[in-house]
Amino acid sequence: MKRTQRILPLVALIATLGLATSACGDDSSTDSGSDAKSGPKVGLAYDTGGEGDKSFNDSARAGAKKAEDELGATVKTLEPKTAEDRAKNLNLLVEDDSNPVIAVGFAFGDDLKKIAPANPKTTFAIVDSVVEADNVKSLVFAEEQGSYLVGAAAGLKTKTNKVGFIGGVEMELIKKFEAGFVAGVKATNPGATVDIKYISPAGDFSGFGDPAKAKEIATGMYEGGADVIFHAAGGSGNGLFEAAAAAGDGMWAIGVDSDQYLTASPDQQKHILTSMLKRVDVAVYGAIKEFSDGNTKGGVEVYDLSKDGVGYSTSGGYLDDIKDELEAIKADIVSKKITVPTAP
């Protein structure tokens, strides 16, 4: 009995230690699984407007979300409050060991030209700009091609033969949207006129975040006889949709970057003819996928109609009667039968 009494506490002690060791093992395994997924740790640096702009930045986030779902990526996002925050945010993501780091917007270009060479072990990607560095993937688009298609739709749908274009900032990139749109309108309706206005001049990026000004411009266009208006103005486009809804039946707006019908209010949806799709989500996901597959090299990737990089939306069914015509035009652009201008 005495020997048994001495053994029982020992067995109990061993069992207790075994449970403790087992518990520590479970915690370690659980922590490892929760601290990091199997995929890359992605840094996403938004531009003006940030997440929730229902346009450019949200499209980038959709691509990153796909990488989370399909590649096991984790994503950290930062958005600037001032222009100086762009470089700061890129550096913060590098310091956080994010890799790759994706800059969402051409405005990051000058900063990235300095930051990328200083961090050769980090792979960067930039949307809408070309940065020549071994570790920078430059993701650019044939915006003029998608704009041509929605311009063709506007030319076919206008009843007044007056349409409008609102650009966010008067700069080379947005001029590509303007050039393609005007060419598309003229291709399907040579007698139509296009009223062109910009919210802010080159160098002043406030035009991408000023819906009140966009609404003011759009209201003036509708009152002047335009019945279809296309915007390439980022977050300012919400002002166009408000103006279209207020202008009443038969007044159309065309969104940009993402399918803006899907994020509009019910009243606004009645007026969103289509959206020029700029598939930032496709480009962002592609850059993360390449990194995940071991491709860390830089280079330029052009996303055009042939790569599903641009296009047009059909939500609402407002293009059902002309979709065959638009698809024929799309095929002619892909085959190079139609060459779309990139400048006005």
Instruction: Specify whether 128 is located in the same domain as 207.
Output: no
127-162 in b/e burial notation, b at 16+ Cβ within 10 A?
Answer: bbbebebebbbbbbbbbbbbbbbbbbbbbbbbeeeb
Instruction: Specify the higher pLDDT residue, 210 or 33.
Output: 210
Instruction: Specify whether 222 is located in the same domain as 272.
Output: yes
Whats the size of the chain, residue-wise?
A: 344
| Mean pLDDT of all residues in 293-306 | 95
Instruction: Specify whether 200 is located in the same domain as 79.
Output: no
Residue 244 has pLDDT above 70, yes or no: yes
pLDDT of residue 329: 98
Instruction: Specify whether 167 is located in the same domain as 255.
Output: yes
pLDDT tens for each residue of 89-140? 999 999 999 999 999 999 999 999 999 999 999 999 999 999 999 999 999 9
pLDDT of residue 187: 98
- 7 in any annotated domain: no
Residue 241 has pLDDT above 60, yes or no: yes
Helices 143-157 and 323-334 cross at an angle (nearest 10°) of 150
pLDDT tens for each residue of 153-166? 999 999 999 999 99
Instruction: Specify whether 113 is located in the same domain as 256.
Output: no
Number of neighbours of residue 43 by Cβ within 10 angstroms: 27
Q: Name the least confident of 38-52, 158-172, 228-242, 299-313.
A: 38-52
Instruction: Specify whether 247 is located in the same domain as 175.
Output: yes
- 212 in any annotated domain: yes
- 223 in any annotated domain: yes
- 194 in any annotated domain: yes
Residue 22 has pLDDT above 70, yes or no: no
- 303 in any annotated domain: no
**pTM to 2 decimals?**
0.80
Instruction: Specify whether 222 is located in the same domain as 243.
Output: yes
Instruction: Specify whether 263 is located in the same domain as 151.
Output: yes
Instruction: Specify whether 174 is located in the same domain as 271.
Output: yes
- 244 in any annotated domain: yes
Residue-number span of the structural domain to which 107 is assigned: 41-141+284-288
Residue 209 has pLDDT above 80, yes or no: yes
CATH number at residue 61: 3.40.50.2300
Task: Return the amino acid letter for 276.
Answer: M
Mean pLDDT, the chain, integer: 89
- 80 in any annotated domain: yes
- In the chain, which residue ranges form alpha helices assigned H by DSSP? 2-35, 56-71, 85-95, 109-118, 143-157, 172-188, 211-223, 237-247, 266-269, 280-292, 323-334
| Total count of domains within the chain | 2
Classify residue 231 as left (phi > 0), alpha (psi -120 to 50) or beta: beta
Instruction: Specify whether 328 is located in the same domain as 258.
Output: yes
Residue 310, phi then psi, degrees to nearest 5:
-140, 170
Residue 59, phi then psi, degrees to nearest 5:
-65, -40
- Which among 48, 61, 50, 54 is positioned nearest to 239, based on CA atoms? 54
Task: Return the amino acid letter for 155.
Answer: G
Sign (positive/negative) of CA torsion 240, 207, 101, 312? positive
Q: Which residue has the tokens 């207790």?
A: 16
- 30 in any annotated domain: no
Instruction: Specify whether 240 is located in the same domain as 330.
Output: yes
∠ CA(251), CA(185), CA(275), 5° rounding? 55
Instruction: Specify whether 184 is located in the same domain as 327.
Output: yes
pLDDT of residue 172: 94
